[in-house]
Amino acid sequence: MRIGVFCSGGDAPGMNACVRAAVRCATSMGHEVVGINRGYQGLIDENFYVNSAGEPRMTARSVSNIVQRGGTILRSARCPAFLTEDGMLKAVRNLKKHGIDALVPIGGNGTFRGAAELIKRWEGRVVGCPGTIDNDLLGTDYTIGFSTAVATGVEAIDKLRDTAESHQRLFLLEVMGRHSGFLALYTALAGGAEFACVPETPTDIPGIVRHLEQLQKTGKKSIIGVVAEGDEEGGATILQKKLDDAKCTFSTRATILGHIQRGGSPTPDDRMLATRLGDFAVKSLDLGATGVMAGEINSRCVLTPLADTFAQHKPLPSELIDLLDRMSN
Ligand code: F6P
């Protein structure tokens, strides 16, 4: 088989480890690998990875020394052209022109929406790998990049706590996650934050203010609140104003972590997940699977139809929401 591998959408730490695993699994099984640069855009533009011998082919050596690197050597892109029929048909023509039989797209829900549409127009096989810091895909407990993004958020909290404690302030740390609160909730729990504002639950500003007054009475000197960028009350800056308006007794500052969460060397957990799933995706293609995403549930590799990975909102574990409540008294 000639297998195309690409990364698409927002990059995530661990994408390189996933590319490496897919390439090495494929080459060890005697398959050929074509690296597609810049996701769907590269497919439309015929932008292929060229190895050190000048060939448009990835070998085991093409992926040496990348397991520890953030970003993606194949680069990534958001591709509005692929949302059009013309764009998709151009991609299909290029897949046929270059003799590509199968694809391993690595990305988030936009990537899999695209892949689900592609297989309606192309007879090749597709097995995707979940690469996004958002952890918003069903069919896997965790997505590649999530663990590293949480670690980055926690490191930020540790630093904010120092200055918050010195000045007896409240810091609101805004994290990414799009419409999902996974990143915010895990960052809050692991960082020891006092509260988290997530899109999945209503944000009760007067309730937060009362809670913080209580904490202050018991001697609490600093407060950290983690705010998901998709929270209904707005991001950290808007929430800061709303807390001030609600006469919050702590002096408040807002910090937006932004794209810092997308970078950095992947954690061992992300490298492990990426390695298992990249390998599993190729083995599944070899066995004839298509139209699915490789994921890990309860430590086992599983396949889930692409459309099911983004059909519904991935629910936040309610026990973790309760846990955060209990930890912040
Ligand atoms: O999906 C990953 C993600 O980082 C989201 O958390 C965030 O909302 C979005 O991408 C940002 O996208 P961009 O890098 O295109 O601004």
| Alpha-carbon gap, residue 155 to 237, rounded angstroms | 21
Residue 104 beta carbon below 6 angstroms from any ligand 1 atom: no
Q: What is the sign, positive or negative, of the torsion defined by CA atoms of 165, 166, 171, 175?
A: negative
270 catalytic? Reply is: no
Question: What string of pLDDT tens digits covers the 329 residues of the chain?
Answer: 999 999 999 999 999 999 999 999 999 999 999 999 999 999 999 999 999 999 999 999 999 999 999 999 999 999 999 999 999 999 999 999 999 999 999 999 999 999 999 999 999 999 999 999 999 999 999 999 999 999 999 999 999 999 999 999 999 999 999 999 999 999 999 999 999 999 999 999 999 999 999 999 999 999 999 999 999 999 999 999 999 999 999 999 999 999 999 999 999 999 999 999 999 999 999 999 999 999 999 999 999 999 999 999 999 999 999 999 999 98
Count the neighbouring beta carbons within 10 Å of the beta carbon of residue 313: 13
| The pLDDT value given to residue 211 | 96
| The pLDDT value given to residue 101 | 98
Two structure tokens written together for 222: 């600093």
- Which residue is catalytic, options 11, 45, 101, 134? 134
| The pLDDT value given to residue 132 | 98
Ligand 1 atom closest to Cα of residue 134: 6
Q: List alpha helices for 29-136, DSSP H.
A: 39-45, 85-97, 109-118
| Alpha-carbon gap, residue 109 to 216, rounded angstroms | 42
Q: Tell the burial category of 147 from Cβ atoms under 10 Å away from its Cβ (0-12, 13-18, 19+).
A: buried
Give the residue, by CA position, lying nearest to ligand 1 atom 10: 10
Residue indicated by tokens 């958020």: 153
Count, residues in the chain: 329
CA end-to-end distance (rounded Å), the chain: 58
Whether 130 contacts 308, CB under 8 Å: no
Question: What is the number of H-type helices and E-type strands within the chain?
Answer: 11, 10
| Alpha-carbon gap, residue 103 to 35, rounded angstroms | 10
| The pLDDT value given to residue 143 | 98
- DSSP class of 316: P
Phi then psi for 326, rounded to 5 degrees? -65, -30
| Alpha-carbon gap, residue 289 to 44, rounded angstroms | 24
Pocket mutation for ligand 1, best pick of 178, 179, 260 (most atoms within 8 Å of C-beta): 178
Ligand 1 atom closest to Cα of residue 78: 15
pTM above 0.80, yes or no: yes
Go through the domains of the chain in sequence order and give each one's CATH number: 2-145+266-310 (3.40.50.450), 147-263 (3.40.50.460)
Distance 24 CA to ligand 1 centre (A): 29
| The pLDDT value given to residue 218 | 96
